[in-house]
Amino acid sequence: MGKKLFKATAIVSSMTLLSRLFGFVRDMLIARIFGVNIATDAFFVAFKIPNLLRRLFTEGAFAHAIVPVMAKHAEQNDTLALRQFIGKTAGTLAAWAALLTSAAMALAPVLIVILAPGFAWQGQQYDLAVTLLRITLPFGACIVLVAYAGAILNAHNRYVIPALTPIILNVCMIVATLWLAPLMDMPVMSLAWAVLVAGIFQLLFQIPSLMRLGLLPKLSIRFKDRDVKLILNKLLPAIFSSSVTQINLLFDTLIASFLVSGSVSWLYYSDRLVEFPMGILGMGLATVILPNLAKHHVLEDSKAFSSTLDWGLRLALLVGLPATIGLYVLAEPTLSTLFQYNEFTINDVHKAGLSLKAYSVGLLGFLFIKILVPGFTSRHDLKTPVRYGILAMITSLALNLALVFPLAHAGLALATSLGALLNGALLLIKLLKDSVYKPGTGWLLFLARITFASGLMTFCLYYFVDPDWWNQWETTERVFNLVKWISIGCMVYVLSLAISGLRLKHLTVTNDRIASFDSASN
């Protein structure tokens, strides 16, 4: 089972890596050409809603609500019922998305006040943010259907197209930055139009794959249909439980709008870097684990269910811990190498570096949430993740108010990280308490090995890397040095794991090993 899951995760992660690389090119160009100013702050605030919808829906919400239902249809082998279900659900979702988008466009001035109250006293920035929001909002309507199509494809083990789809947004924004921006009186407007066009292209990109599966929906609007109501009732708690972190990031932006100019942008760029490992590994694991957990639940195979969770947690720790160390130690060098050009200054690197370090503290929490929430939603339990999510969100908000005064924007990032760690811990404890998840054998030795390797990697980076080298070299030298030290860190980590005796087979947790754990525990 481990090899199969690993292969599927590798496919999704590699596609996500490609998308993230395009995303970094996009952000590098935006930082270089637009810099950090009131216009970019206005765009990042306006982009927050459509981008939040993208993260909410495409990074788990639809999958958590729909995949368990599709797994039941697949087990019953009822293709006709599945097609009818897809058609009426898609049609109703499209209708709701159109209605809500129209209302949001009309209420754009109010939404900007809610998202960034600090803009209300800055007339030009406020007006610009309202205009940008109205242009980008239809992207949200498109992304709802894109996410629904992606959930259908993932449920049928078609992972490549949904994982590649986000690249379209990055490509459109890159083209707009290089070609359209110089032609416009207000260059930042080009980014908003790029977002709108990307939403349309992403939706069209899904259609051929749905046609090949014979599942291209014949849309029908059924607001009162029982199956549609069931999905819609599941959707809101699924969105919340899988995306508490994204909601907290929205609150970060809200509070940051009251801080000094540039705070919103510093948080944005540091969040983008944390999203790199979280998106690649977290999205890959969550996308692959959920359909497998749903299948095991339908088949009432509790041992396979538990072993799938165990495999995901091991892989998250194996990759997430060194990623946390790398992001923290190399925060400023990474930001400088990627973004410090023209308008993005050394001060911006320092400020964004503080929030990147704070976000990196919560990386393991972010990853665990991605893996553990499917352990509930695949069993049709949406209430528990919502309850813990609310508790974590309240904790983060309280910490926001406590930490923003001494640490400014970095305090907001740290509060979000601590909330994610709390959320992940609560989910894990509940699964253990209910015996839904029973750890496989060898965990203590596994933890000892990755702790040993992580310790050596940390020692190497802390004591041999000049902390100010990034501020002393030209662009080419900065890139060379960053790649060199990332490579050295990775080599030290991998060699240390090999020396400690860790092998790939230790990541494959079979039912036999779960059974042996049961025997030992009894």
Q: How confident is the model at residue 438 (pLDDT cuts 50, 70, 90)?
A: very high
**Residue 446: its pLDDT value, please?**
92
C-alpha span between 311 and 288 (Å, rounded): 12
Predicted local confidence at residue 515, as pLDDT: 38
Calculate mean pLDDT across residues 455-461.
92
> Which 3 state secondary structure label does DSSP give 99?
helix
**520 in any annotated domain:** no
Predicted structure pTM score: 0.76
Q: Confirm whether 126 is domain-assigned.
A: yes
Overall average pLDDT of the 435-459 stretch: 92
Q: Which is higher by pLDDT, 71 or 483?
A: 483
Residue 72 has what pLDDT?
65
pLDDT digits (tens, 9 = 90+) for 306-319: 998 998 999 899 99
Residue 4, both tokens: 């199969």
Q: Which two tokens stand for residue 339?
A: 């973004």
One-letter amino acid for residue 384 of the chain: T
> What does the block give as tokens for 93?
């979702």
Report the C-alpha gap between 187 and 162 in whole angstroms: 31
3-state secondary structure 355-370: HHHHHHHCHHHHHHHH
Q: How many domains does the chain have?
A: 1
SS (H, E, C) 152-190: HHHHCCCCHHHHHCHHHHHHHHHHHHHHHHHHCCCCCHH
Identity of the highest mean pLDDT range in 251-255, 355-359, 474-478: 355-359
Start-to-end C-alpha separation, the chain: 25
Residue 187 reports pLDDT greater than 80:
yes
**pLDDT at residue number 138:** 93
Least confident stretch, 30-44, 87-101, 274-288, 499-513: 499-513
Is the model more confident about 471 or about 308? 308
Inside any domain, residue 518: no
Cβ-Cβ contacts under 8 Å for 341 (sequence gap 6 or more): 28, 31, 32, 475
Backbone angles phi, psi at 513, to 5 degrees: -70, -35
Vertex 358: Cα angle to 31 and 387 (nearest 5): 110
Structure tokens of 113?
Answer: 């006040």
Give the pLDDT confidence of 368-388 residue by residue, as tens digits. Answer: 998 998 899 888 888 899 899
The arithmetic mean of pLDDT across residues 142-168, rounded, is 85
Residue range 478-488: mean pLDDT, rounded: 86
pLDDT of residue 196: 94
Q: CB-hemisphere CA count at 13 Å for 316?
A: 26
Q: How far is Cα 163 from Cα 17, in angstroms, rounded to an integer?
A: 9
Structure tokens at 263: 């705070």
Q: Report d(CA 151, CA 57) in Å as an integer.
A: 9
- Split at pLDDT 50, 70, 90, the class of 231 is confident
Confidence class for position 522, pLDDT limits 50, 70, 90: very low
Q: How confident is the model at residue 73 (pLDDT cuts 50, 70, 90)?
A: low
Q: Is residue 522 domain-resident?
A: no
pLDDT (tens digit per residue) in 204-221: 998 999 888 887 878 888
Residue pair 425/388 in contact by the 8 Å Cβ criterion: no
519 found inside a domain: no
More confident residue, 44 or 106: 106
pLDDT score of 429 more than 50: yes
Task: Give 185's pLDDT tier (boundaries 50, 70, 90).
Answer: confident
Q: Is residue 338 part of a domain?
A: yes
pLDDT value at 59 more than 70: no
Mean pLDDT of the chain: 83
Task: Provide the sign of the torsion angle of the four alpha carbons 141, 378, 237, 253, taken in this order.
Answer: negative
- Rounded to the nearest 5 degrees, what angle is found at the Cα of 467, between the Cα atoms of 464 and 470? 115
Residues spanned by the domain of 261? 2-512
Q: Which parts of 434-474 fold into alpha helices (H)?
A: 443-464
Distance CA 179, CA 159 (A): 32
Residue 185 is given by DSSP the state S
Token pair belonging to 317: 């720790």
CA distance 389 to 385: 6
Who's near 37: CB < 8 A, 6+ residues apart? Answer: 261, 262, 343
